[in-house]
Amino acid sequence: MSNQYSNVMLASFQAIVQAKGVIRNGKLVAFPTETVYGLGADATNDVAVASIFEAKGRPQFNPLIVHFSNYSDISEYAEMSRYATTLSRSFWPGPLTMILKRKPDCGLSHLVSAGLDTVAVRIPDNHMARALIDASGVPIAAPSANKSGHISPTTAEHVAKSLGDKVEIILDGGECEVGIESTVLDLSSDVPTILRPGAITASQIEDALMRPIEVHSVNIPMSAGVNDYADACKNKVVYKSPGQLTSHYAPSIPLRMNATVAKEGEVLLGFGSAENATLNLSYRGDLSEAAANLFAMLHILDDKKYKGIAVMSIPETGLGMAINDRLHRASAPRK
Ligand code: TXA
Ligand code: MG
């Protein structure tokens, strides 16, 4: 198979060195984990993270899992709670993703968290994955390496067929042993809650923590992307997409879309050439750059000294759809 697709590389020192260069360059590398193949980018690089969404053709910004090779590196970016420490000893490296509070100014892209103040982290149980993260020297953000609407990839060939030309290198580590995505456990509030069932079960987690936990009821919102639904059916797991949750980041001041100028008291967030914009998502009208800037700029402009944020119109193509989806939610009437 490695001969069939020119960007597929078998495990070797040289492959890791080359892949590391790609990650440091802000480009994409697909890599094996024990669950499914991931589509990886430097989690500290906004533009690189934006290109993940672009490559997947995702119409929404779901927050992404940030992958680490070492336990000790995580505390630079996220608050390791007591529960997190306990669970890390039992299940890492392995298919458990923990949602933790982000550390302020931790350097992670805001796009990996889709603007939330939490971040999903895990240490994959795969030597090639950890070697890549180690060599890159940065945490790696990665969703499953499939196009939106396609099933999750468990071989390098699946990745090549779905995303072949969108990714610089596909590291071939053979077939994934687990084959379904990791369990996603929210530890950012008082009661640990499973948001997505996976290989690590609720009772295994309860045993390790010596306390009951909650499991989110089956919930695929009508508005969920095809990808969520297809993945859920294929893997017989169902999960709540945080992109659909009300807790998803929205500025505390009103947001108005398709603005041409700021009204009195508003601040203008521009796109393309704009004279009076306080910040601009992308002067050159580049949607990838706009996606990369979106959450960070909304955070900056979310200031009570303004009556609201007026955002200029974003074309409804490619990543523009994901940007508009997010802006629609942020501009919807509040309860
Ligand atoms: O096994 C896996 O988890 C694979 C491999 C590559 O690690 N990755 C994966 O990523 O399945 P993805 O993007 O397909 O799924 C990540 C899940 C989504 O359900 C997402 O909504 C949730 O984790 N998630 C990520 N960050 C979150 C956050 N801050 N709060 C709540 N949910 C979050
Ligand atoms: Mg997926």
How confident is the model over 59-83, as pLDDT tens digits? 888 899 999 999 999 999 999 999 9
Above 80 in pLDDT, residue 270? yes
Predicted pLDDT of residue 334:
66
Question: What's the half-sphere exposure (Cβ side, CA atoms, 13 Å) at 271?
Answer: 24
252, exposed or middle or buried, with CB in 10 Å at 0-12, 13-18, 19+? exposed
65 Cα: distance to centroid of ligand 1 (angstroms)? 5
Question: Is the CB of residue 150 below 6 angstroms from any atom belonging to ligand 1?
Answer: no
Strand stretches in 187-254, DSSP E: 193-196, 214-215
Predicted pLDDT of residue 241:
43
Tell me which of 216 and 284 has the higher pLDDT.
284
Residue 285: phi, psi to the nearest 5? 70, 30
154 Cα: distance to centroid of ligand 1 (angstroms)? 16
186 Cα: distance to centroid of ligand 2 (angstroms)? 17
4 Cα: distance to centroid of ligand 1 (angstroms)? 30
Above 90 in pLDDT, residue 217? no
Closest atom of ligand 1 to 142 CA is 6
Strand partners, 119: 100
Contact 19, 169 (CB under 8 A): yes
Strand partners, 169: 29
- Nearest-CA residue for atom 12 of ligand 1: 143
Closest atom of ligand 1 to 184 CA is 23
Closest atom of ligand 1 to 120 CA is 26
- Out of 167-176, 190-199, 234-243, 298-307, which region has the weakest mean confidence (pLDDT)? 234-243
Could you read off the pLDDT of 157-166 as tens digits, one per residue? 999 999 989 9
Question: Is the CB of residue 270 below 6 angstroms from any atom belonging to ligand 1?
Answer: no
Predicted pLDDT of residue 33:
97
Token pair belonging to 189? 């509030």
Residues in CB range of 102: below 8 A, 6 or more apart: 77, 78, 79, 108, 113, 116, 117, 118, 119
Nearest alpha-carbon partner for 73 in 117, 114, 43, 116: 43
Strand partners, 118: 101
Residues in CB range of 76: below 8 A, 6 or more apart: 103, 106
- Nearest-CA residue for atom 9 of ligand 1: 143
Closest atom of ligand 1 to 228 CA is 19
Question: Is the CB of residue 38 below 6 angstroms from any atom belonging to ligand 1?
Answer: yes
Question: Is the CB of residue 99 below 6 angstroms from any atom belonging to ligand 1?
Answer: yes
Above 50 in pLDDT, residue 177? yes
d(CA 310, CA 324): 13
Residue linked to tokens 């007591």: 82
Predicted pLDDT of residue 92:
98
Q: What is the mean pLDDT of residues 186-192?
A: 95
- Name the amino acid, one letter, at 154: T
Predicted pLDDT of residue 89:
98
Predicted pLDDT of residue 332:
81
Mean pLDDT of the residues in the chain: 88
Handedness of CA 65, 69, 71, 76 (dihedral sign): negative
Reported as a pLDDT band with limits 50, 70 and 90, residue 224 is very low
327 Cα: distance to centroid of ligand 2 (angstroms)? 23
Reported as a pLDDT band with limits 50, 70 and 90, residue 322 is confident
- Name the amino acid, one letter, at 251: P
- Out of 29-33, 217-221, 233-237, which region has the weakest mean confidence (pLDDT)? 233-237
Residues in CB range of 104: below 8 A, 6 or more apart: none
Ligand nearest to the CA of 49: 1
Give the distance, in angstroms, between the CA of residue 29 and the centroid of all CA atoms in the same chain: 15
The region, left, alpha or beta by phi > 0 then psi within -120 to 50, assigned to residue 292 is alpha
Could you read off the pLDDT of 19-42 as tens digits, one per residue? 999 999 999 999 999 999 999 999
279 Cα: distance to centroid of ligand 2 (angstroms)? 32
